[in-house]
Amino acid sequence: MSTTALQRPEAKPMMPGPAPVISTARLTLRPHRLSDAPAIAESLSDFAVTRMLSRVPAPFDRQDALDWLIPVTSGTLPDWPLAITDKDDVHIGNVSIELRHGRWHLGYWLNRYYWRRGYMSEAVAAIIERFSRRMPETPVHSGVFADNPASLRLQEKLGFRMTGCGEIYCFARNTMVSHIETVLQSGMLQPPRKMA
């Protein structure tokens, strides 16, 4: 008997299916569109936003947004990159769960003019809650730069726990930056507090 007949096929990670549209009290999370390019470029041309993201260059312009949107809108990726929009469909940010190196990772950013209103807590909780329904028992990994305490507080309030520290390259800063790794174990999501 051939030894290849006895080998198991390599296990492939479960996939959550197509990215959904998710409505919350104040937001709609929806798949991105090519027409979102100007709003994305406006948000990510702000160094206060991009300096906290590892894979976004600075400066960032409309062509960079289109280069990112073309594969994201193709429908061929297993990831869930969702536009964060207000009730008037104004694009104010991104929240995504992406498959990287066999693990699901949370990433997010928000236009600076919408900071400190609880929108990101609302968006992150909503995408994780929906993802967890489709992918029960699946942990969600994330991380923050060490000089981004607001993002770390957001993750901790939602149930993420620190798992390690290291350094990763930040394209916008053009340097290595201290990075705190986090994980949310299955069933540990804490609902965000309501904003007054």
| Beta strand pairing call for 80-86 and 27-31 | antiparallel
Q: Which residue's structure tokens are 């993802």?
A: 131
C-alpha to C-alpha distance for 127 and 29, rounded to whole angstroms: 8
**Res 192: pLDDT:** 76
Sorted by where each starts, the structural domains of the chain and their CATH numbers stand as 20-184 (3.40.630.30)
pTM: 0.89
**Res 75: pLDDT:** 85
C-alpha to C-alpha distance for 188 and 161, rounded to whole angstroms: 10
Contact 21, 30 (CB under 8 A): yes
**Res 12: pLDDT:** 58
C-alpha to C-alpha distance for 160 and 181, rounded to whole angstroms: 10
pLDDT in tens, the chain (196 residues): 555 556 665 555 678 778 899 999 999 999 999 999 999 999 999 999 999 999 999 999 999 999 999 999 998 888 999 999 999 999 999 999 999 999 999 999 999 999 999 999 999 999 999 999 999 899 999 999 999 999 999 999 999 999 999 999 999 999 999 999 999 998 888 887 665 4
DSSP the chain: --HHHHSPPPPPPP---SPPPEE-SSEEEEE--GGGHHHHHHHHT-HHHHTT-SS--SS--HHHHHHHHHHHTSS--S-EEEEEEETT--EEEEEEEEEETTEEEEEEEE-GGGTTSSHHHHHHHHHHHHHHHHSTT--EEEEEETT-HHHHHHHHHHT-EEEEEEEEEETTTTEEEEEEEEEE-TT-PPPPPPP-
